[in-house]
């Protein structure tokens, strides 16, 4: 059996992470504006990005804060939204070499995002800690810097302008869900179900009393459960 070459270049990881970091700038810029418009100071917005690094989780968190959600609601929502990162980290263990001790795993698991996982898992050879540290460096700082720029802009722009820029959030979400929905019918059905449940909970008497946090949790669990049951991912035989 031929052992494939291990990617152990920090600079190689940096190179692969640059496109991800540039993409994060625009998304986190929007988050920064949203956070400041919600009443958070600039430094808190940046601190959130530097300690979380989860786009969907952070946007949902700000929405829950605005809605006055309880800590339990926020914790459950974050658990449901970010649980996928645990599965990604477990999957990546099949691609790592012996340089990944427990300490490295704990540190690098923080930097796992959808895009970082896609790049790392797409490598045809094993990866080591140097490559992974390089891969997460640019996306991490891109996310933090984008938040700083957005928060700073939101704090100095006129309220009418910064509020109007919040529309970019909806555009971002549409840009995220429409392409995969066009390519995969299961994704389309999951989205339709999630929107339908949200609509029902919002307009049904008594159910409309549910807090936004629990609505997010219910929609996420129901839609993901529906997708897993009716459209399971088939294992590819080796």
Residues 6+ apart with CB under 8 A from 123: 7, 95
pTM: 0.72
Predicted pLDDT at 77? 84
How confident is the model at residue 139, as a pLDDT? Answer: 93
| Contact (CB, 8 A) for 67 and 184 | no
CA distance 55 to 126: 28
pLDDT given at position 197: 92
Q: Is 87 exposed, middle or buried (0-12, 13-18, 19+ CB in 10 A)?
A: exposed
Residue 5: what pLDDT? 45
Neighbour count for residue 235 (Cβ, 10 Å): 6
Q: How far is the C-alpha of 48 from the C-alpha of 68, rounded, in Å?
A: 18
Give the tokens for residue 112.
Answer: 């796992």
pLDDT means per 10 residues, the chain with 238 residues, are: 51 91 87 89 94 88 85 86 83 82 89 87 82 93 94 80 65 72 86 91 86 78 84 59
Dist. CA 56–CA 74, nearest whole Å: 13
| 155 touches 34 (CB < 8 A) | no
**Do residues 180 and 187 make contact, with C-beta atoms less than 8 angstroms apart?**
yes
Beta bridge partners of 96: 127
CA–CA separation, 10 and 130 (whole Å) = 5
DSSP code at position 204: S
Determine contact, residues 30/172, Cβ cutoff 8 Å.
yes
With a CB cutoff of 8 Å and minimum separation 6, the contacts of 34 are 59, 62, 150, 154, 166, 169
Q: DSSP string spanning 166-181?
A: THHHHHHHHHHHHHHH
């Amino acid at each position: 059996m031929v052992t494939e070459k291990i990617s152990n270049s920090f600079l190689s990881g940096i190179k692969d992470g640059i496109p991800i970091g540039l993409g994060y700038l625009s998304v986190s810029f929007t988050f920064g504006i949203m956070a400041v418009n919600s009443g958070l100071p600039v430094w808190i917005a940046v601190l959130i990005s530097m300690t979380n690094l989860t786009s969907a989780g952070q946007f949902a968190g700000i929405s829950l804060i605005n809605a006055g959600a309880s800590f339990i609601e926020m914790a459950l929502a974050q658990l449901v939204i970010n649980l996928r990162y645990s599965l990604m980290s477990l999957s990546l263990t099949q691609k790592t070499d012996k340089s990944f001790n427990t300490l490295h795993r704990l540190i690098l698991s923080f930097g796992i995002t959808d895009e970082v996982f896609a790049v790392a898992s797409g490598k045809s050879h094993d990866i080591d800690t140097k490559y992974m540290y390089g891969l997460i460096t640019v996306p991490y700082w891109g996310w933090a810097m984008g938040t700083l720029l957005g928060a700073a802009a939101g704090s100095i722009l006129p309220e009418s302008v910064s509020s109007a820029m919040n529309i970019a959030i909806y555009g971002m979400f549409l840009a995220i869900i429409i392409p995969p929905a066009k390519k995969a019918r299961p994704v389309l059905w999951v989205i339709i179900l999630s929107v339908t449940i949200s609509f029902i909970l919002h307009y049904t008497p008594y159910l409309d009393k549910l807090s936004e946090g629990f609505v997010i949790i219910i929609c996420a669990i129901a839609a993901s459960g529906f997708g897993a049951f009716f459209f399971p991912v088939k294992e590819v035989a080796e």
